Amino acid sequence: MDDIRPKLPPKPERFMDTLRLHIRKQGLSYRTEQTYTHWIKRFIHFHRLKHPADMGAAEVEAFLTHLSVQGLCATNTQRVALNAVAYLYKQFLGREIPDLDFKLAKKHRRLPIVYGREEVFAVLGHLQGVFRLQVELMYGSGLRSAELLSLRIKDVDFGSNNIFVRGGKGNKDRTTLLPKGMVEDIQRQIKHVSLLHQQDLLAGYGSVYLPDALDRKYPNAAKQLAWQYLFPANAISKCPRSGIYRRHHMHSSTLTRQVNSAVRKAGINKPARCHAFRHSFATHLRTIQELLGHSDVSTTEIYTHVVNRGDKGVLSPSDRLRNFHKIEEAGANYFVGSKIEEVQALSLLASS
C-alpha cells in the first residue's frame, strides 16, 4: 500500500513530518509529496545533514550543479529537484531565494519506446489471465500503470464505453476510451472481484481504502462493490494510514515482472516497460492529447516522429489489433513489414 499517505502525528515535531503536513495542507498529491520529500532529503544529506534554515542560495546552487556535473542527471530531473527545494524555502520556510547561478543539465530529447502492432500481439501471446487483460487495457486505453492499478469498478462505464481516470498525473481527472473488444473480459474480471469481495466480507474484511475524506462522507461506500479495485491484490494487508487490514490493489512490481518476462519470451529487442504500451497507444491511435491527459500539446508532440498525422481516432488500438488479426485469419494480410496499410484495412473493418 505504498500509494497511501501514512498517518502523521497530530502535532509533528520532526522536520520531515512537519514538512509533509504542510504539503498536505496545500492540497498537493501524494505523488508530489513523495517527490518533494525525496529531493529535500537528498539536498539535506548532500550538505551533511545541515538544517535548511542554516543554508541559502549558495548551498542550493552547489546541490543543483552537483546533480548536473557529477550526477549527470537529465534536465527534467534537475528541474524537479529545483522545484522541491524552491517549495522548501518559499512555501515552507517562507524565505525568498534570489536568482540562482548553477550549471544547467544538458537537455536531451529522448524518443519514447514504442512497440509495433505485431510486437504488442506477440507480448500478449505470452501473458495469461489478469496480466494479459491489464497489458491490453494499457495499450487499448493509454493508461499509465499506476492509473490502471488504481481503477475501481465504478470507473468503468460500459454504457458510454469510457474509463474514468481519477487523480491521474498532476492529480487530474480525465476519461479515456474503453475498447469494445475487451468488454466481456472486463465484465468477467468484475465477476471475479465480486466473488472475492463476498469472501472478504464473510471473513470480516471487505472495507477498501477511500481517498481524502470520502470514508467520512460516505461511511458505507468502502464495503460496496462499486468502490472495490478492478485489479485487487492477492492478499489482505495492513493499511499504513488507518491500521485496518484490507485488500488493496495489485502492486506495480507484480505487473512489471510479468511484462519483463513476456517481452523477453516474445524475443523483442527493446526495453521492457509498462509505459511503452501507453506510448504505443498514442502512436497507433495517431496521437491524442486529450486522451493522454497532457496539459501541454508539446508533451504529446514527441510521438509525431512515428506518425505524422493528427486528428482524433475513434477506434481503440486494441480493437484495431484484434480486428486486423481476424482479417489475417480470414486470409487477407494487410501487414507490410511492421506497418499496416490502414486505409485498406479500415475500409474492410468498416464493412465487417
Give the catalytic positions in this structure: 144, 169, 275, 278, 294, 303
- 339, β-bridge pairs: 336
117-125 and 275-284 helices, crossing angle to 10° = 140
Q: Return the CA Rg of the chain.
A: 23
Separation between Cα atoms, residue 283 and residue 279, nearest integer Å: 6
- Cβ atoms within 10 Å, residue 292: 22
Q: Write the burial class of residue 154 (CB in 10 Å: 0-12 exposed, 13-18 middle, 19+ buried).
A: middle
Separation between Cα atoms, residue 48 and residue 43, nearest integer Å: 9
Q: Write the burial class of residue 33 (CB in 10 Å: 0-12 exposed, 13-18 middle, 19+ buried).
A: middle
Residues 6+ positions from 118 with CB-CB distance below 8 Å:
335, 338
Single-letter amino acid, residue 113: I
Paired sense of beta strands 162-165 and 174-177, if any: antiparallel
Could you give the 3-state DSSP secondary structure of residue 165?
A: strand
| H helices present in 235-316, as ranges | 252-265, 275-284, 289-292, 297-300
The answer to whether 286 and 311 are in contact (CB under 8 A) is yes
Separation between Cα atoms, residue 250 and residue 235, nearest integer Å: 9
Q: Which of 94, 76, 3 is nearest to 39 (CA)?
A: 76
